Amino acid sequence: MTLSSPSPDGKQCSSYGTQFTCSKSCGDNICNNNENKCTCEKDCNNIVGNDKDSHGCIGSAGYSWCEEKQKCLRTWEENCSNSKMKILPETASLKARERLGELGFNVSLKEIGNKNKTKTIYEAKAQQQGKLFGFLNVQADVSAEIDAETGEIIKVHKPWWSFLAGI
C-alpha cells in the first residue's frame, strides 16, 4: 500500500490503509504525508492570534478589553479612559518648576485610579539638593503629579525629612 494525499478539504488523509482525521482545519492541506505517516501540519490551538478572550480581544496582538469604551484596544495606542489631555508635557514641567524650583524634571504620562474611574496625569520627577541640619549635603527624590486636563498640581511628593534639609 502507498500513502495517499490529503483530502480536498485538508482534514483527512490515509497512511497504509489507516484513515487519519485532523480535528480542525487551520489552513490549506493541513494533513500531510511525511516519512510514511500521516500528520497534521498545524495545531490550530497554537496559532498566534487564536487566543481571543471572552470579549473577542486578541491578547497576543496586544489587545485588551476597555470597559469604559466598550471595545478592544491597545493601551499604548489609545487611552482607555475618555479623559482628554489638554496640557502638553512642557506646560506640566513649567508648573512643577513653579512649585519646586529649577530641577531638570523628567515628565511622564500616567493613568491613575481603579478600573472604573481613571485619571490621566503627568508625573514630574527630579532630585533636589539640600543641607540636612544646615551643614550635611543631602539629595532627595521629589515629584509632582499634574492633572493632564487642567494643569493643576494634584500632589507633591518629598521625603518626610525634607523640612530638615530645606528641600
Model confidence, pTM: 0.47
Residue 1 pLDDT exceeds 50: no
Residue 159 pLDDT exceeds 90: yes
pLDDT at residue 42, as a whole number: 47
Residue 5 pLDDT exceeds 80: no
Domain range summary for the chain, segments of one domain joined by +? 12-46, 48-80, 89-165
pLDDT at residue 21, as a whole number: 55
Grid-cell match 471595545, residue found = 71
pLDDT at residue 4, as a whole number: 47
Q: Which residue has the higher pLDDT, 41 or 146?
A: 146
Q: pLDDT of 87-131, one tens digit each?
A: 778 888 888 888 888 878 888 888 888 766 778 888 989 999 999
Q: Does domain 89-165 correspond to CATH entry 3.30.1330.40?
A: no
